[in-house]
Amino acid sequence: MRPYHHVPIVECGEQLVEIPLKLFAVESPHPYEKLGAPYGENSPYFLRESVVESLIEAQDYLQLLRPDWLIQIFDAYRPVAVQQFMVDYTFAEAVRMAGLTESEMSETQRQVIWEEVYKIWAEPSLDEKTPPPHSTGAAVDVTLVDNTGAIVNMGSAIDELSPASLPDYFANSLQPQAQQYDANRQLLCDVMEKAGFKRHPGEWWHFCFGDQMWAWLYNEAQPGNPVVARYGRLMSVS
């Protein structure tokens, strides 16, 4: 159980809608589809209707601060089957990068790697009370593209299994390059939060609006006025 899983879900029934990708930058083909993730007839470029509206607001705020810059959509709606695929893929990659083979790993080695994987990835739960955030259609992974079309350097890659994924990792550095990474992350956070999103405490790229994590973060900041989640797990794009 994550801390946000204790937040009740009162599903509002809002539909998933397609993100108007012409307003944003996007990686094509989708990075997880390239790996073979089983989206089936579902699309990763869908979100709940109000979440899409807020994402457009964030893009509008960005334009005011950085004309001709774009939010890049890395990932949005993610069926639980895709969550399972990516968790398994990340575990296998972490084993490979550690120079190990899964069949010869000790239980301790296996546990250490799984702990690293689950620092980034939510458990692919089928329990309606503990849905992975992306499976609700209320979470989106984003970065920025500048006015030349280049992806803005945030100091670490999306989904990177390292401490550099922490949003404030570069905040106290005296190195000019690190300070720029932090400023870039802060710009992304500022425009997303101005539109109502909350940032994942452990991932600079993950933002949510209306799911359990969003409600938990909202309640932590404003304990006197608690809210519940309004988006639960969705089975597929309708």
Q: Which long-range contacts (CB under 8 A, 24 or more apart) does 185-191 make?
A: 185/154, 185/155, 187/62, 187/65, 187/66, 187/144, 188/71, 188/142, 188/143, 188/144, 188/154, 190/61, 190/65, 191/58, 191/59, 191/61, 191/62, 191/65, 191/71
Mean pLDDT of the chain: 95
User: What confidence score (pLDDT) does residue 200 get?
Assistant: 98
To the nearest whole percent, how much of the chain has pLDDT over 70? 98
CB distance 75 to 138 below 8 Å: no
Is the pLDDT assigned to residue 137 strictly greater than 70? yes
Residue 203 appears among annotated catalytic residues? yes
Q: Which domains are delineated in the chain?
A: 3-221 (3.30.1380.10)
Can you give the pTM of this predicted structure? 0.94
In the three-class reduction of DSSP (H, G, I as helix; E, B as strand; rest coil), residue 141 is classed as strand
Among candidate residues 11, 49, 115, 203, the one labeled active-site is 203
User: What confidence score (pLDDT) does residue 170 get?
Assistant: 98
pLDDT band at 75 (very low <50, low <70, confident <90, very high): very high
